Structure 1
Amino acid sequence: MRQSSGKIQGDPVWWVKCGDTLVGSLSSPESDQPWIVCHFEPSDGWESLSSLFEVQAEARRTGFPEDKVWAIKAVRELHLELHPVIDGEVLKPMLIYIEGAEARFRL
């Protein structure tokens, strides 16, 4: 376990992948219906996507203004997948937001 932002984070549960590129890992999942909220740890593939997720997060924080909603569609079109670290099926989130060390997604 590691500590981040004052919280202890568990081992990764899912790898976040865009095609064959590893974007990061998700750990410490908690339910906040209808969302699953996790700790996000970026990998090398995050750098090329981070600015898109920043615009998406800003759109959400500011009530989805017309000049920023394109980012939500662009993230959906990435077809990100959550691959289980140990066993289980690959998850394909309908929506996923990553902001700083927090990720939240809906199936």
Structure 2
Amino acid sequence: MTQWQLLQGDVLLGELSEYGCDQPFFLARFAPGPGWEKVRPLFEALAALRGPDPDGSRTVAVVKPLLDLGLTVVPVSGGRSLLRVFKDCWLRIDGSEARLRY
């Protein structure tokens, strides 16, 4: 299974270790890195987003600050190119669990 690094520039925010699939998402364990605490509240806000959002405004309000950070997900083994979070892929982190769709 694939291992990924979540980065902001060259700052490691965490690592994802894929363990399964729940189409269309890849399931991964998340291990925080040195830069995680800075972005943790933003991912917690996304994880807490529940219920209907007919016009998408609540989702945009939560995702926009994350999008503005320019986060990337990079496979540890190489091969694939980096993915820009919320541009090339969707990433949801809730505690030690992550869901990645690309």
- Pairwise same-fold verdict (TM > 0.5): yes
Using the aligned pairs only, state the percent identity: 35
Within-5 A mapping of 1:24-63: 24-59=14-49, 61-63=50-52
Partner of 2:62: 71
Mapped partners of 2:58, 2:14: distance in 1: 28
**Any stretches of 5+ residues in structure 2 without a counterpart?**
none
Match of 2:6 among 8, 16, 24: 16
Identify the range of structure 1 (47-56 vs 77-86) with the bigger mean alpha-carbon deviation.
77-86
Residues 8-48 of structure 1 show CA distances to partners (whole Å, capped at 9, x for unaligned) of: xx8x7111112111010011331111111100000111000
Partner of 2:73: 82
Higher relative contact order (CA 8 A, sep 6+): 2
How big is the shift at 1:80? Answer: 2.3
User: Is residue 81–residue 90 contact of structure 1 (8 Å, CA) maintained in 2?
Assistant: no
Residue-pair matches, total: 96
Change (3 A) 1:68 1:28: closer
Q: What RMSD over aligned residues (CA atoms) do the two structures have, in Å?
A: 2.3
TM, length-normalised to structure 1: 0.74
User: Is residue 18–residue 79 contact of structure 1 (8 Å, CA) maintained in 2?
Assistant: yes
Instruction: State the AA in 2 paired with 1:15.
Output: Q
Instruction: State the AA in 2 paired with 1:36.
Output: F
